[in-house]
């Protein structure tokens, strides 16, 4: 099961920061339920190994280590049965909290949207769609300009979901975004990680979109549950940007026809806080520069790595995530 979930995350069959977190926590639950470990030590080692395997799939979305950390910190007991129960319970609580957080942030984000607004989206974010859904439930009419989001075209998923919410959609290529910004009331983007200085790491193309939006005076709102807050950035660590397969950009035949070229495929970029208007979370909306106060409240000053081969002690601070 862990093997399968890990492959699906790596191949992006399971994708989106919140969905990845949910799948990873659930994989630990199944691992615990199916474990045949005979001693508490063997059980703990097995769960830690499963977490490491999941962790190795994609490096950028911090929701993945945050989910694993949440569950691993709550694996408690002196017997295999007690350990199993606590793991299953922690994973269940985490997934339920994830759903609740998305509902809560949806309502906060919806308050920023007015009846008749046009929104522009980039990539596919379930957190963003939660805001649109909440606004629709409030009876607001919205329409959307949807960027296709090369190379994997996750904009197509967004377009489909928006149509399910009865939102009229205009699909555009990424490079057309600036032309449409004058007609847009809000740019809505999700996040894969948010750093302590308020920088937002999201799908490649977000930073260029944000600079253009600022130039045109169009507000840009980041919608992100607090599992997207990157605790390691509190202590100076940077966020690794995932580089993906060249084949996502160009196939072998076209490439050979062009001649010798290098191809780079960064999956994410970093948008500095000065280009962003608000970060919407389940705890309310924050100016990007002040997100660090929420991070300290939730995580304390740092984190441990409970999945390490040699187990570390419990984390000293922070409740959730």
The alpha-carbon radius of gyration of the chain (Å, integer) is 20
Binding flag, residue 125, ligand RI2 (CB under 6 A): yes
Segment interacting with ligand RI2, rule: CB under 6 A, options 48-56, 119-127, 131-139, 165-173: 119-127
Dihedral in degrees, nearest 10, Cα atoms 309, 315, 319, 321: -30
Alpha carbon of residue 245 to chain centroid: 20
Interface with ligand RI2 (CB under 6 A), residue from 2, 5, 6, 15: 15
User: Does residue 123 have an active-site annotation?
Assistant: yes
Provide the β-strand partners of residue 147: 172
Smallest separation, CB 58 to ligand RI2 (Å): 7
Segment interacting with ligand RI2, rule: CB under 6 A, options 10-18, 22-30, 209-217, 274-282: 10-18
Q: Where are the alpha helices (DSSP H) in the chain?
A: 2-10, 17-34, 40-55, 63-72, 80-112, 126-137, 155-164, 177-180, 206-216, 252-258, 291-299
CB contact burial 221-242 (16+ within 10 A = b; e otherwise): bbbbbbbbbbbbbbeeeebebb
Smallest separation, CB 261 to ligand RI2 (Å): 24
| Per-residue binding letters, 256-285, with ligand RI2 (x by CB under 6 A) | -----------x------------------
Interface with ligand RI2 (CB under 6 A), residue from 17, 47, 95, 194: 17
Place of tokens 């309502």: 107
Binding flag, residue 147, ligand RI2 (CB under 6 A): no
Residues that bind ligand RI2 (CB under 6 A): 15-19, 123, 125-127, 154, 190, 192, 202-203, 267
Catalytic residues: 123, 192
């Amino acid at each position: 099961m862990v093997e399968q979930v890990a492959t699906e995350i790596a191949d992006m069959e399971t994708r989106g920061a919140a969905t990845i977190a949910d799948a990873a926590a659930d994989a630990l639950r199944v691992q615990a339920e199916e474990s045949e470990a005979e001693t508490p030590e063997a059980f703990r080692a097995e769960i830690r190994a499963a977490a490491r395997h999941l962790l190795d799939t994609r490096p950028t979305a911090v929701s993945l280590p945050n989910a694993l950390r949440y569950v691993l910190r709550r694996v408690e007991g002196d017997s295999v049965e007690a350990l199993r129960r606590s793991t299953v319970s922690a994973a269940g609580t985490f997934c339920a909290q994830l759903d609740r957080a998305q509902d809560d942030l949806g309502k906060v984000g919806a308050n920023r949207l007015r009846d008749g607004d046009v929104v522009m989206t980039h990539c596919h974010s379930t957190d963003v769609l939660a805001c649109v859904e909440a606004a629709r439930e409030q009876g607001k009419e919205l329409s959307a300009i949807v960027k296709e989001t090369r190379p994997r075209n996750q904009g197509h998923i967004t377009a489909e979901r928006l149509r399910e919410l009865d939102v009229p959609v205009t699909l555009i290529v990424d490079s057309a975004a600036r032309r449409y910004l004058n007609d847009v009331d809000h740019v809505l983007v999700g996040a894969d990680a948010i750093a302590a200085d308020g920088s937002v790491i999201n799908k490649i193309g977000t930073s260029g979109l944000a600079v253009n939006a600022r130039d045109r005076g169009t507000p840009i709102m980041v919608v992100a549950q607090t599992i997207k807050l990157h605790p390691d950035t509190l202590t100076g660590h940077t966020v690794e940007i995932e580089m993906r397969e060249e084949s996502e950009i160009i196939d072998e035949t076209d490439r050979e026809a062009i001649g010798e070229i290098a191809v780079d495929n960064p999956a994410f970029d970093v948008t500095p806080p000065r280009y962003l208007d608000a970060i919407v979370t389940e705890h309310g909306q924050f100016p990007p520069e002040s997100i660090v106060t929420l991070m300290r409240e939730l995580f304390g000053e740092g984190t441990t790595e409970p999945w390490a081969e040699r187990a570390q002690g419990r984390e000293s601070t922070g409740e959730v995530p």
